[in-house]
Structure 1
Amino acid sequence: MLASVLVVTVPMEAESLSSDATPEHIVSTRVEPVAAGAFAPTWKSLEGYEVPEWFRDAKFGMWAHWGPQCVPEAGDWYARFMYVQGHRQNKFHVERYGHPSVFGFKDVIHAWKAEKWEPEKLVAFYKRVGARYFFAMANHHDNLDLWASRHHAWNSVRVGPQKDLIAGWAAAARAQGLPFGVSVHAAHAWSWYEVAQGADKTGDKAGVPYDGKLTLADGKGTWWEGLDPQELYAQAHAPSPGFEAAESIHRRWHWDNGVTRTDLAYCQNFYDRTVDLINQAKPDLLYFDDTALPLWPVSDAGLKIAAHFYNATHARRGAGDAGVIFGKILNDEQRKALVWDIERGVPATTLPYAWQTDTCLGGWHYNRSVYEKDRYKSARTVIHMLADIVSKNGNLLLNVPVRGDGAIDEKEVAILEEIAAWMAVNGEAIYATRPWKVFGEGPASVGVELTAQGFNEGKGKPFTAADLRYTASKDGRTVYVIVMGVPTEPLRLAALGKAAGGSGVADVRLLGGGGTVTWEQSEDALVIGPVEGTPVAEAAIVFKVAL
């Protein structure tokens, strides 16, 4: 099956947010000014953005989606679900730590020491694996800032590890010559944490409020004396109707469907914190876990943050480089202003602009059961995903879950070593390539529809040696044929037949050697015979075709 380069409309437009809305809350730039430059805080101005060439060349980044929710080793969104009576993570929390009216998430933060964190070694390893940029999480929906925040007392320098984690990650990335990115998720703490205002419905603690109701005055004589839990939990508001339901947050992600509206002070604080982060860390990439931009369309905070980032990054990095900002579920106009990030998913075909998939070896936050049950993605799966994504003009950002202590486990190391070995042989088919006239051929070339932020990962046909993906050198004189396995039958590549309109094939060789290649170009196909001998990289072999 020949995979066409035809660009299709991705069926997500109904879920995107209009750029024409009028924000309710206009944040002040008095304390944290927007940097001067070509970009103004409007969607129309941001549409003048151009993706820097280095990002299009990089193709593969790695991410430490690491914070206090990794301490329990019980999976993602722990700080929310620990407050939902009967939820798996709530049961775990009560058994391990006690009732959330007594031991809440603020206390999980207090238990976080990051005693084995060695950012220099980790980032150097990730570069050897093949990463060409590195991301660190700056805060999650749990609302803890992981830098020396000027506008938020609940930060990792004051509580938990008592270290500036973002500064450490940034220094490590720059020591390796890698562009540095930060991911910001805290815009949704307002509604995401509402369950912390609740209480058990049944049992001996029925009606006893969780610690999301605590105030500054309640801290006298405790480890958190002088800190206001309301600043962390952001719950000094009436919760949204039905907030107790575990999944209620999903239908309200766009600040609608009955969510209690944020106030100006909340939006202002988010703006000030994020601009402070940009000014301190000077990231080259900025990821938002939000539709379009954070707090849009309630506030203009996201627009002002974007303008500041582009202007400040351009002033620092120079002509043609304003860095990269990622947003989710973007409409056509917004895809001119930001790079579209697709969470755990891949579009059906090549897109005309740069985009990114973000995914994970396991869960977003470290999960002991994933480790114990051997449920990590294999190196083979990651390599196949990377080839598919790059063939469609995308980049892959891969999260490697980090334990609460700051280390990754030996199973993750083994997987990454396999990826490193493959990239060492075949990296030229990935880095600095561009999409070819078709992205691929084979039975797995029919895509699966994206839903919401993406989430079609693993829903299509599995890749086999009958599937292949194409990439090309920038000058178009070399085509790379990435075969998802080691074929035992001759490959018939219709897209490289003389009748397909391409120039004649001058040479075909296997990257990494390891076997003799026989080939013949006819009118209807380039036929490559089975490789004689054992290829160096069996997860996916790559033929380099000179035109």
Structure 2
Amino acid sequence: MMNFETRTGPDFGADAPSYPGNGVPEWYRDAKLGFFVHWGLYSVPAWAVQHGAGVNIPTEDAYAWHQYAEWYGNTVRIAGSPTWRRHQELYGPGTSYEDLADRWDAAAFDADAFVGELVDAGARYIVPTTKHHEGFCLWDTATTGFNAAARGPRRDLIAEFHDAARRAGARFGVYFSGALDWHVSDFPPIESDTDLFRFRRHDEAFSRYAAAQLDELIERFSPDVLWNDIEWPDGGKGRDEYAVAALLERYFGAVPDGVVNDRWGVPYHGFLTREYTHIPDILEQPWESTRGLGYSFGFNQAEDERQSLSGVELIRMLVDIVSKNGNLLINVGPAADGSIPELQRAAMRELGSWLRENGDAVYGTRPWIRFGEETGAPVRYTRSAAGVHVHALDPAAGEIALPPELSGGTARWADSSVADTATEPGGAVVVRIPDALRAAPVAVVTVS
């Protein structure tokens, strides 16, 4: 997956705009875990080709066989693609992707219950998609009739998410597709990474359109996180009031402790984003790992447990990311009716249960002098005022060796009981993992 902080847009020379000086606030660095919610028209067909182990897709077919169900609006336009063939069979050749807006029934969606599931799973911030690349807006916008309040659900879904998140005490963010909007564009389908940046509008009218939508979201919801995707139209990167620099000034004026990501295509970055990417070591700059529980963000009904993270895998991923100075923005992809599929719910609930016991070793922590150890029984480190938290990724191994820097400290488990330790002939201190914790996804001992 590509990184976006190296893409900084047109060179304006001496006429380049200036950007706000806001960095990444401490609340965001403390939060560690957020939930993305990809929900849109793509949730009606809810389908993409299965990916994963044993599936070999040639590079030249990557977009025709896209792993993301939320890209259905693009893959369905690639003649002969699996999505194109399935759409013809299921809906008939006379039904366009946008026609699915009137088939979207979200009657089962209960925002408080939905957000409650995310908070119970440990979410400290929640970021629903307000408009994905298809251009369908999930809030009651004055900019277009192609929205959830006017068609399909006939509800302001973002307002419901926002109100429920605030009631639950979670931070609220918005995802917005800044430069891609297939509803108001007339380009061929995207079939390569080159097309991703070639087939998009950069004109003033579209730049104003995107800015008006983002201004609405800021004014109505004061989002704590402004998560833009795949850049901004080049026509909106100068000194104009509808350009990124001015938008960010208005945003931080309205939300002084807000935060933005790095996907604007300008020199200003908030936190870095890494999508479906393993990071091998600590990054100095705050960053965020994002991915779906499966291989897609939008719900893909073709996926099963072979394509989806288990609770154990999800917990170990979170610990690895936090040890390297990152946050995890894990995605839940609801079904069209607004329900969370059981496969995703099971992993979320296991994560929440583990965090209720071990959250002090995750929330509010910072990286230690190194992220962990890969030799022997693998461990990850985080630190807080309580000490250094040693996360055993394989508790079934029965013991963990403390690094020399911690060998003189007192080790305690999450229940405050003192750990059973032994000093080996070479001087290494080994912590014996209690039987009750050996079946845990991760066992945490804190050394102070």
Give TM class, smaller chain: 0.7 to 0.9
Q: Is the 8 A contact 1:497 1:523 kept in 2?
A: no
Q: 1: CA distance between counterparts of 2:425 and 2:220? A: 59
Paired residue type of 1:66: W
Runs of 4+ in structure 1 off by over 3 angstroms are 252-255, 296-300, 328-331, 520-526
Name 2:274's counterpart in structure 1.
Answer: 342
Find the structure with the greater CA-based Rg. 1
Partner residue in 1 for 2:298: 365
Match of 2:95 among 95, 103, 106: 103
Amino acid at match of 1:45: Y
Residues 425/497 of structure 1: CA separation in 2 closer, same or farther (3 Å cut):
closer
Q: Is the 8 A contact 2:411 2:418 kept in 1?
A: no
Q: 1:355 to 1:440 in 2, by over 3 A?
A: same
Answer yes or no: is 1:262 the counterpart of 2:188.
Answer: no
Deviation at 1:177, TM superposition (A): 0.8
Distance of 2:244 and 2:316 partners within structure 1: 35
Match 1:305 to one of 227, 247, 257: 247
1:116-265 pair list within 5 angstroms: 116-189=108-181, 193=182, 232-235=183-186, 239=187, 243-244=188-189, 247-248=191-192, 250-255=193-198, 259=199, 262-265=202-205
Amino acid at match of 1:253: L
Superposition deviation, residue 530 in structure 1: 2.9
The alignment's TM-score, normalised by the length of structure 1, stands at: 0.71
Going from structure 1 to structure 2, the CA distance change for 1:393 and 1:260 (only over 3 Å counts) comes to closer
How far has the Cα of 1:120 moved from its partner? 0.4
Query: Retained in 1: the 8 A contact 2:398–2:434?
Result: no
Amino acid at match of 1:529: V
User: Paired residue for 1:510, among 393, 398, 413?
Assistant: 413
**Residue 483 of structure 1 pairs with residue 392 of structure 2:** yes
Is residue 340 of structure 2 the alignment partner of residue 397 of structure 1? no
1:267 and 1:125 map into 2 onto residues whose CA distance is 37
Aligned residues: 420
Which stretches in structure 2 are left out of the alignment for 5+ residues? 49-68
**Within 1, Cα distance between the matches of 2:404 and 2:223?**
41
Determine whether 1:73 maps to 2:46.
yes
SS at match of 1:370: coil
Quote the offset at 1:539 in angstroms. 0.7
Shift of 1:109: 1.1
Q: What is the TM-score when the length of structure 2 is the normalising length?
A: 0.86
Counterpart pick for 2:228 among 281, 288, 292: 288
1:466 is matched with 377
1:55 aligns with 2:20: no
Seen in structure 2, the aligned counterparts of structure 1 residues 417 and 490 have a Cα distance that, compared at 3 Å, is closer
2:19 maps to 45
Structure 1 residues 303-312 or 158-167, which shifts more?
303-312
The structural deviation recorded for 1:537 is 6.0
Partners of 1:251 and 1:492 lie apart in 2 by: 48
User: Compared with structure 1, are the counterparts of its residues 260 and 509 closer, same or farther at alpha carbon in structure 2 (3 Å cutoff)?
Assistant: closer
Q: Deviations over 1:304-338 (max 9, x none)?
A: 22222111112xxxxxx2x011124989x634xx1
> Which whole-Å CA distance do the structure 1 matches of 2:319 and 2:100 have between them?
39
Change in CA separation of 1:16 and 1:122 when aligned onto 2, cut-off 3 Å:
same
Whether the 8 Å CA contact 1:392–1:439 is kept in 2: the answer is yes
Instruction: Check if 1:324 corresponds to 2:259.
Output: yes
CA contact (8 A) 2:47 2:299 kept: yes
Determine the C-alpha separation between the residues in 2 that align with 1:161 and 1:354. Answer: 37
1:160 partner letter: G
What is residue 6 of structure 2 aligned with on the other side?
16
Map residues 30-41 of structure 1 onto 2, 5 A cutoff: none
Match of 2:60 in 1: none
Structure 2 vs 1, CA of residues 116 and 525 (structure 1 numbering), >3 Å: closer, same or farther? farther
Give distance in 2, aligned partners of 1:324 and 1:163. 27
Q: How far, CA to CA, are the matches of 2:360 and 2:401 in structure 1?
A: 23
The superposition leaves residues 344-381 of structure 1 with CA deviations (integer Å, 9 ceiling, x where unpaired) of 2243211222211111112111111114x542111111
* Aligned-residue RMSD, C-alpha: 2.7
Letter of the aligned partner of 1:468 in structure 2? V
Do 2:402 and 2:428's aligned partners in 1 also have CA atoms closer than 8 Å?
yes
Relative to structure 1, the CA distance from residue 399 to residue 392 in structure 2 (aligned partners, 3 Å threshold; closer, same or farther) is: same
Contact 1:516 1:533 in 2 (8 A): no
Alpha carbons of structure 1 residues 524 and 353: separation in structure 2 relative to 1, 3 Å: farther
